[in-house]
Structure 1
């Protein structure tokens, strides 16, 4: 009997000690719950589907379009471009053919091209505002995580201009003029903001202006900026800390020393658990000399 009591006490001590050494952290609790609620709503709607029509996708996307709030932009061309980008993702010319062949709608291709200028010049801020407010609503009124990354888009063109410049291409098309596209998203990939820069610009210089403008515009508080180590240079980290922003750097394990690699690989892989490693010197991209890895 005494031995059984001792065994139970030992198990309780091990459990307490494990909790103390490896605290369970949930950085995205509210956002995750909001995403789960949204998925459950989608499952509920789909479970009630009893018949599929040719225009079934069109009807569903119409409801979603209105529910998010994009009907603030009273323009049928915009509605069609959004819906059929989701339902039939292809070129503008092919979209025109799709609308004509399946829905009997004769939309002039030149009208779509002219609308893109209108969207870029006058309506993109309205689109962003609708998207941000919908995302904040899903997450209980607060956007707590900002993921930022960039890509490059090249053009089949022979000459550069003021925007399209040759530079480091992520698609390995170094001889083609390109632009840099930066995207700011929240948890779950909800789009928040984007930026376009000259193709020869250093990508690290695109992050802070985009984040600062977004934070100022929407009055964000208590959020975390997440980006990879290529964007988190020392100057950017210093500015993040000057503004008091919390941040997480995504780094490649292969770039660390063998000692750090071994330590990381030895850690138990558990959801919502964070472990910390104190480095002897300064990390090349982290001024406080600490590396944090999410398991």
Structure 2
């Protein structure tokens, strides 16, 4: 800071000013108005007024360096704000940026950039695509135009974004493999247990192409879709993904991606956990060799007759977690009325040349849950009957119309339109007999408790897809070129990886929705020449975000120099335990 004196014909005025840079240009501002010469003489209290004023400037400079100076900002109700001058920015991305660099994604981008001799900033584009996917999801064009919302922005153009997509698509396997290796430095990976699931994403188009095909949409949309198969580790962190044609049987998507883990990820021994829809005999056999294993859900309804009779038998049930060999009947379990207890029975079976262990569990809690679900569905079915609508038969096995009895002929045997005659009690009773029962098949000899625990954690991969589709708005997809479509999902995959890692560093009591919304609301107001004022509400979550990151942005004002330190820290690959 320096002393500035302005002289007029009749007086001298003293000011303390400081220089700063704004939009790359040097400018200055008044920090403190000391007054006229007469006023300064009074303040100097016998000292030389000029020396006193110079010392005051030195004191303010020293206080600023020590971050002790009180900052006073003057605003005028008659002065308009500058045209086009942005003063509000998002800073929540800094917590994502820290993990982005700890995963060494900048290093990955540098390697790719050198390989293809790219002149534009690939690292800047990828980081913006990821931050925007989490905070302001939308199209790639929108990601470009939302760059100004962040405290920093790369110097790139819109066409660079689309050129980058083609490169990211070509290097998808390399990125996934390297990201897996780098992530182990950030957090140890639980790669003993792998969860696999497959979902699909629809496109707002009518014509199919090589990748986007008509198939069974998870959202029941009449649009072409692509299949996305995803592996997740035992802690819920994304591991690898691949895309397949929308018309492909999802059971066929597992082997190609698993081979990628074996070849490109240098993984060999692991347990693959899937749901019943992906548990074909071929997939089970594929994971019954060379140290691999499987755990998969098994539909009780689809068991062979003798196995179904055994599974639903009222006797032979053991209490999970108990060392006692006592066996219970379903009647005894009802009398115990312990809703937290899980009872089980097991046996080894040999089918299609595959020996596997069938575990069937039963719990009152799960029984009551299924009863409530069906009661609501039956209520909805009755409403449809009362409405008198002519209903078409649905192929969805969970559609409530399965509970409606229909007739297609008159009393005289003549052909007639479909008519709803009431609820089909036979179907309702048939489904009720499976309430409370749950089946799992595996080739492992671990305890039943361990098998149940592993299978229970499948919910995390289902939640991962839910976050992608809802919070990250990964669908509908508007891109048309296959390479750009693949690049879209690689950015979604990386975004999910970074977000999950951040989530793991925070206490478990926060939902993913709360975390994302808090990051979006962490905004700052810029004071030219001084720093940033937080305009968000400080909460326990913002405290925990700062605690795990090792820096704070929740002071009344963060000086410019301090923010430069934060920028530098979030771009460091150094990983410290907070």
The answer (yes or no) to whether the contact 1:234–1:287 under 8 Å persists in 2 is no
- State the structure with more CA Rg: 2
Deviations 1:21-58 (A, max 9, x none): xxxxxxxxxxxxxxxxxxxxxxxxxxxxxxxx944323
Distance between the aligned counterparts of 1:127 and 1:224, measured in 2? 24
CA distance in 1, matches of 2:189, 2:226: 34
Match of 2:215 in 1: 167
Does 1:220 pair with 2:267?
Answer: yes
CA contact (8 A) 1:136 1:143 kept: no
Answering whether residue 95 of structure 2 is matched by residue 95 of structure 1, we say no
Question: SS where residue 288 of structure 1 aligns?
Answer: strand
Could you list the per-position Cα deviations for residues 185-214 of structure 1 after superposition, in whole angstroms to 9, with x for gaps in the alignment?
A: 112322221111111111111101211221
Segments of 5+ residues of structure 2 without an aligned counterpart are 1-87, 111-122, 323-339, 360-439, 441-450, 454-578
TM-score (norm 1): 0.67
Q: Secondary structure at the match of 2:268?
A: coil
Matching residue of 1:113: 162
Indicate how the Cα distance of structure 1 residues 206 and 102 shifts in structure 2: closer, same or farther if over 3 A, else same.
closer
Match of residue 347 from structure 2 = 278
Seen in structure 2, the aligned counterparts of structure 1 residues 269 and 129 have a Cα distance that, compared at 3 Å, is: same
1:148 and 1:225 in contact (8 A); partners too: yes
1:71 aligned to which of 82, 85, 106:
106
| Structure whose residues are more often strand by fraction | 2
Alpha carbons of structure 1 residues 145 and 118: separation in structure 2 relative to 1, 3 Å: same
Q: Hey, what's the Cα distance between the residues in 1 that align with 2:250 and 2:204? A: 22
Distance change in 2, residues 1:68/1:184 (3 Å): same
Structure 2 residue 358 is matched with structure 1 residue 290: yes
Query: Gapped runs of 5+ residues in structure 1?
Result: 1-52
Q: CA deviation at 1:98?
A: 2.3
3-state DSSP class of the match of 2:263? helix
Please give the alpha-carbon distance, in whole angstroms, between the structure 1 residues aligned to 2:315 and 2:160: 59
Alignment: residue pair count: 239
Q: 1:238 to 1:129 in 2, by over 3 A?
A: closer
Residue 222 and residue 101 in structure 1: after superposition, are their counterparts in 2 closer, same or farther (change >3 A)?
closer
Matched, 1:61 2:93: no
More helix by share: 1
Instruction: Please report the RMSD computed on the Cα atoms of aligned residues, expressed in angstroms.
Output: 3.5
- Tell me the distance in 2 between the aligned counterparts of 1:172 and 1:115: 33
**Can you list the C-alpha shifts for 1:67-110, whole angstroms capped at 9, x where unaligned?**
11111114211111122222333332333332235558585443
Distance 1:253 1:103, change over 3 A: farther
| Residues in 2 aligned to 1:188 and 1:141: alpha-carbon distance in whole angstroms | 7
How far off is 1:140 after superposition? 4.3
Mapped to 1, the partners of 2:98 and 2:136 lie a distance apart of: 17
CA distance in 1 between partners of 2:358 and 2:125 (Å): 51
Secondary structure class of the residue paired with 2:288:
helix
Residue 284 of structure 1 and its aligned partner are, at CA, apart by 9.4
Structure 2: distance between partners of 1:152 and 1:187? 23
Contact map agreement 2:93 2:150 (CA 8 A) in 1: no
Q: Which has the higher contact order (CA 8 A, sep 6+)?
A: 2
Alignment of 1:157 with 2:166, yes or no, is no
- Cα 1:294–1:286, aligned 2, differ >3 Å: closer, same or farther? farther
Distance 2:152 2:184 in 1: 38
